[in-house]
Chains A and B, each alone.
Chain A
Amino acid sequence: MTDDEPVRDAGFDDFLDALADGDGYYVECANGHGSLPPRRVCPECGSADLTETPLPDAGEVATYTRVHVPAPSFADDAPYVTAVVDFGPVRLTGHVLADYEDVEVGTAVEPAVGETATRGERLVVFEPR
């Protein structure tokens, strides 16, 4: 490891890689519970029988906010809209690429991977359908 080379978070960064390639997935257990990596067992039932299942193409905004006072890593991004989006078996959090006024609970969005304006760091984004 060197100072200028960021270390990956195994599982999480693999998930972002896949989502960026349009191959998003979630972790599904034998009992149908969804979760996000890295997982060795299902957080709901403890099942170790886990498979990577394709993430649905679109989800619905479950709740959202517009952040006016950001952490330093989002200083140049603010104000921005963050939402928890429901994909059925799993929910995912990210920035909605839309004006606050155009977002509602129930708004249909598609997931992708974008970059922050502040530091160029990867993050989950949602585009309205």
Chain B
Amino acid sequence: MTKVRVAGVGVTAFGSHPERTSRDLFADAGLTAVEDAGVAREDVEGVYYGNFMGELSEHQGHQGPLAAEALGVQAPATRYESACASSGVALRQAVRDVRNGEADVLVVGGAERMTNLSTAGSTEALAIAADELYEVRAGVTFPGAYAMMARAYFERFGGTREDLAHVAVKNHANAVGNDRAQYQREITVEAALDSPPVADPLHLYDACPVTDGASAVVLVSEEYAESHDLDAGVAITGTGQGGDRMALQDRADVATSPAATEAAEEAYADAGVSAGDVDLAEVHDCFTIAEVLAVESLGFFEHGEGIAAARDGVTTRDGDLPVNLSGGLKAKGHPVGATGTSQVAELTKLLRGDHVNSEHVPGARVGVAHNAGGTVASAVVHVLEGIAE
């Protein structure tokens, strides 16, 4: 089994670009990644592309071939859809295909165009990641579902809106210098608490924004990297995926995210690392409560302890285990289909030392990316390791 290296990464500016099509966004990110990798375009053997709501936001399904042609690549291309984990599952498939010798060079990424929809329209579009019959028709929105998880968490383990506000404050602070982030500004706990309610107990500043953007990474086999003398100092050493029942009502416990726990355990075992070896993480904080569930599922904290991690400074950039140094979904933005590979792109830059926040993690070797779909009915976790040259 060959090893997998990240040869190049590319991410568009995340933000409000309502007029830009997914194909143009992906061209921007993908061409940057191919150039960063230094691979010949004709060596690309496939394009694995995540997209969630193309049919609803731009009346465009079947986006795989458009993704390949946007890069000028003559290779088969497939679109992957697992809600907010779309490019995460695309990445997992690509990692396995390179490992198994099916391909030496693959482009993996995703794109989402969202802000061309009204707030009501994007609320409706995001809701299709939930169970249409038993949740959406009962009025469950995406924030509403996470609000019910937050309520269940508070009820079982304790915690306050102020604890959650510290997650948002931390991630905004991390995004200040990240020129790809949607919100490059700090917020205060008071502002978060005073923001308007979206779905109690979650308020506007608990939620990630609606974002247009794309991301891409170029994966190569170790042999290809060596024979082509590529500067590919980051390896993907672990991959894991977990699943759960789709609707919250069908889960015995909605105060935890067992699918992510499953994904993390598989990814750690695959990489031969444990939670204690991890130096930094990018986690799926679509809502502040989601980061809490994530850091517990990743094994960094016991259940009930993750709520205090940001408040106590453990996961801030100067803490023992920085989480979401990119700004996270909260401040970097969440172009749904692009999020999974954007996390890996940010982690790669953090590990190889050319990220604006690399200075906060000198000597970091092991990073983890956690990408969740819906209310974590899908979860995918990847372990990245810097290769000592």
Interface residues in chain A, defined as those with a beta carbon under 8 Å from any beta carbon in chain B? 9, 12, 35-36, 43, 62-75, 77, 80, 82-84, 90-95, 100, 105, 116, 121-124
Contacts and interface: CB of A to CB of B under 8 A. Distances in A.
Contacts of A64: 148, 151
Enumerate the 8 nearest inter-chain pairs by beta-carbon distance, A residue then B residue, closest first: A65-B147, A91-B249, A63-B152, A63-B148, A71-B124, A93-B138, A66-B200, A65-B199
B200 A69 contact: no
16 contacts: A12-B134, A63-B155, A65-B199, A66-B197, A66-B199, A68-B197, A75-B120, A82-B138, A82-B148, A84-B148, A93-B134, A93-B248, A95-B138, A95-B139, A105-B152, A122-B137
A43 B196 contact: no
Contacts of B127: 71
A93 B151 contact: no
Contacts of B149: 63
Contact of B141 (A9, A69, A95, A121): A69
User: By CB atoms of chain B within 10 A, which of A71, A80, A90, A124 has the most?
Assistant: A71
B133 interface: yes
Nearest to B126: A71
B314 interface: no
A123 B124 CA distance: 17
A82 B112 CA distance: 29
Interface residues of B, number: 36
A74 B82 CA distance: 25
B255 to A, nearest CB: 8
A72 B133 contact: no
Contacts of B134: 12, 36, 92-93
A46 B130 CA distance: 23
Given A82-B139, A84-B254, A123-B137, A68 B199 contact: yes
Interface string B233-265: 000000000000101111000100000000000
B248 A84 contact: yes
Contacts of B364: none
B163 to A, nearest CB: 18
Contact of A69 (B123, B151, B254): B123
Contacts of B201: 65
B143 to A, nearest CB: 7
What does DSSP make chain B's interface, helix, strand, loop or mixed? Answer: helix
User: By CB atoms of chain B within 10 A, which of A9, A63, A72 has the most?
Assistant: A63
Given A74-B139, A93-B138, A93-B248, A69 B148 contact: no
User: By CB atoms of chain B within 10 A, which of A77, A82, A121, A123 has the most?
Assistant: A82
B196 A68 contact: yes
B138 A65 contact: no
Contacts of A68: 196-200
B144 interface: yes
A97 B135 CA distance: 17
A72 B148 CA distance: 20
Nearest to A77: B139
A104 to B, nearest CB: 9
Given A43-B245, A71-B120, A73-B124, A65 B136 contact: no
B79 to A, nearest CB: 25
Given A66-B200, A69-B123, A80 B139 contact: yes
Contacts of A36: 134, 250
B199 A123 contact: no
Given A62-B254, A67-B140, A93-B135, 15 more contacts: A63-B152, A63-B248, A64-B151, A65-B148, A67-B139, A72-B120, A72-B121, A72-B123, A82-B144, A82-B148, A93-B138, A105-B155, A121-B137, A123-B137, A123-B139
A55 to B, nearest CB: 13
User: By CB atoms of chain B within 10 A, which of A36, A65, A73, A84 has the most?
Assistant: A65
Nearest to B149: A63
Contacts of A70: 120, 123, 139, 141
A7 B136 CA distance: 17
Contacts of B200: 65-66, 68, 100
B133 A12 contact: yes
A120 to B, nearest CB: 13
Contacts of B245: 43
B119 interface: yes
Given A35-B250, A71-B124, A65 B144 contact: yes
A26 B151 CA distance: 26
A121 B148 CA distance: 23
A69 B124 contact: no
Contacts of A124: 138
Interface in B245-290: 245, 247-250, 254
A83 B144 CA distance: 10
